[in-house]
Structure 1
Amino acid sequence: MGMFTRMSDIVQANINAILDKAEDPAKVIKLLIQEMEETLVELRSVAATNLAEKKQVQRQADKLQQQINAWQAKATLAVEKDREDLARAALGEKHLCQQKLSALTDEQVVVDESLSKLQADMGKLQDKLVEARAKQKSLIVRERSVAVRMTVKNRVHSVKIDDAIMRFEQYERRIDDLESQVDAYDLVNESQGLHAQFNELEAESQIEQELEALRKKVA
């Protein structure tokens, strides 16, 4: 599979769909990221080669333009000196340089278009790589969360936790019983105090009656 074909497949791929079909999503996403990183390195290498070629073509174009200017100046000088033969030869060399420059210009266009496409492809691939890495982090977080939840559920259903809950409930019932006893004691004390007051009133009344009877008897 060629690099650009592989890159195109990666860019057009739906990461979620790939992971949904995978038996081991974590392994698949890891391989996808590795594939993207390798393809991105290759694209950068091709882009670097194209940039070097562009600079070389630009240097050749600049050199040809200097030659064109020089031959133009020589043709002008020959005309001024009435040497049309030399002027004609200088213009001929100038035209040859212009043809070469035109070919280089076409080559520059091809190189620039290739670089633009490479930059666009690298941008798309970089976006996919960011998406894949984010998906990988999400899978890791979900995996850890499931592991923690499973551990907690296992502990909740363990015998030790059940025993601890039962002991807590027993302790809670003991506290309720003690509180009930205290409340009952307060009610008894309150009732006994009320009876004592009435008994005291009745005793005083009896004493007053006996005292009155003695007074009448003495009188």
Structure 2
Amino acid sequence: MGLLNRMSTVVKAKMNTIMDRAEDPNETLDYSYQKQLELLQNVKRGVAEVATSKKRLELQRAKLDQKMDLLDSQAREAIKSDREDLARQALERKSTLTVQAQSLDQQIRDLEGEQAKLEATERRLSAKVESFRVKKETIKAQYSAAEAQVKVTESLTGISEEMADVGLAVQRSEEKIETMKARSAALDELVERGTLEVFSGSDEIERELAQIQAESNVESELARLKTEEGR
């Protein structure tokens, strides 16, 4: 079980690393902001729908008022004409419309309360969305700056490594040149003492010294070229 737990921990750690590399904070922030905007649009749509329904009921209520006023006038005219029966019918119809009007009034008040709640929700959500937008842009700017700084640092690190390689190459070249110079000086000293004449002729010594000098010149030129070319 201990081994399985450790393996599970390792797998989770690697998956988190992969997800962290694949995840773009800018995309995540923009996606979250977009979802909040969609939610805000839904709330605004709800406010509009409630307001539309309330307006429709208010128009119906206004029509009922017109009908009730008309029936009231008809009842008055019937009374003037001694037609109490017609007046009664008109007042009965007016009474029915009054009940309907009262029901519409209650529905309108309910919709007004619902609209007020939705509008308050819209204001709070709008403030939160705007606050998130500002924070989102700030975080994105900070992330971009940090990303640029990392790239600059990585670039500088690469330059430092290249300069270190160049330094090592120059150092090796200088050491080799010093070795060749020391060898040349030693041979010169042996020649002066006459030691080399025992083993070889002067022509051979001169050829060897010339060769050494040529090799030293080549190594010097090579080191100079490498230094100039930054290698």
TM range (shorter): 0.5 to 0.7
Distance 1:78 1:104, change over 3 A: same
Tell me, yes or no, if structure 1 residue 57 matches structure 2 residue 83: no
Instruction: Report the CA distance between 1:83 and its aligned residue.
Output: 1.7
Q: When the two structures are aligned, how many residues end up with a matched partner? A: 142
Partner of 2:67 in structure 1? 67
Instruction: Report the CA distance between 1:45 and its aligned residue.
Output: 2.3
Partner of 1:83 in structure 2? 83
Q: How far, CA to CA, are the matches of 1:147 and 1:28 in structure 2? A: 16
Aligned counterparts, 1:4-153, within 5 A: 26-153=26-153
Q: Helix, strand or coil: the match of 2:82? A: coil
Range moving further from structure 2, 147-156 or 46-55: 147-156
Instruction: Report the CA distance between 1:153 and its aligned residue.
Output: 3.4
Partner of 1:159 in structure 2? 160
Q: TM-score, normalised by structure 1?
A: 0.57
Partner of 1:192 in structure 2? none
Q: Helix, strand or coil: the match of 2:146? A: helix
Q: TM-score, normalised by structure 2?
A: 0.54
Instruction: Report the CA distance between 1:102 and its aligned residue.
Output: 0.6
CA contact (8 A) 1:156 1:162 kept: no
Q: How far, CA to CA, are the matches of 1:162 and 1:138 in structure 2? A: 37
Higher relative CO (Cα under 8 Å, sequence separation at least 6) belongs to 1
Q: How far, CA to CA, are the matches of 1:97 and 1:149 in structure 2? A: 76
Question: Once superposed, which parts of structure 1, at least 4 consecutive aligned residues long, lie more than 6 Å away?
Answer: 160-163
- Deviation per CA, 1:4-40: give whole Å up to 9, x if none: xxxxxxxxxxxxxxxxxxx765454333212211112
Partner of 2:17 in structure 1? none
CA contact (8 A) 1:32 1:132 kept: no
Q: How far, CA to CA, are the matches of 1:29 and 1:144 in structure 2? A: 13
Distance 1:28 1:148, change over 3 A: closer
Residue identity matched to 2:126: Q
Residue identity matched to 1:159: S
Q: How far, CA to CA, are the matches of 2:162 and 2:137 in structure 1? A: 33
Report the RMSD for the aligned CA atoms in angstroms.
2.5
Q: How far, CA to CA, are the matches of 1:40 and 1:60 in structure 2? A: 31
Task: Provide the identity percentage.
Answer: 23
Q: Helix, strand or coil: the match of 2:40? A: helix
Partner of 2:209 in structure 1? none
Residue identity matched to 2:160: V
Q: Helix, strand or coil: the match of 1:47? A: helix
Q: How far, CA to CA, are the matches of 2:147 and 2:46 in structure 1? A: 44
Partner of 2:4 in structure 1? none
| Higher Cα radius of gyration | 1
